[in-house]
Amino acid sequence: MTDPALKIVSAAGSAAPRAPYSQAIAVNGFIYCSGQIPMKPDGEIIFNDIGAAALQCLNNLKMVLEAGGSNVNKIFKVNVYLTDMADFAAVNVVYSEFFGTHRPARTCIAIKQLPLGAPIEIECIALE
């Protein structure tokens, strides 16, 4: 049974998780978002355009945060996972446009593989 202090956050209209996890958990004034891969609401994953893939991940996070009563301007920590660090510059362009002058703390690492073969995954922590 889930602790009542933990509020499960789900974004209506987004792609449903394909594994046993919540899109986000709100607790003690924070929203901890699970990693979002570039999955469109219809379940299609963007593979061949890293800029479009990064934007889809960020828009997915935005939908989850808004479902939890927050927004992207309340994000203070972002983790970006790439399967190819050669995509770093292209992701930075999209990331910069998405956040504008807001600059959350961020980590970006290259990893061997992501769920469903996705090229990128992004997670964040925000204030409620």
Summarize pLDDT for 74-101 with one digit per residue, the tens.
999 999 999 999 999 999 999 999 999 9
Answer yes or no: pTM beyond 0.75.
Answer: yes
Rounded distance between C-alpha atoms, residue 74 and residue 47, angstroms: 29
CATH classification code of 7-14+22-127: 3.30.1330.40
* Domain ranges for the chain: 7-14+22-127
Rounded distance between C-alpha atoms, residue 120 and residue 48, angstroms: 11
CA geometry: angle 54, 57, 61, nearest 5 deg = 140
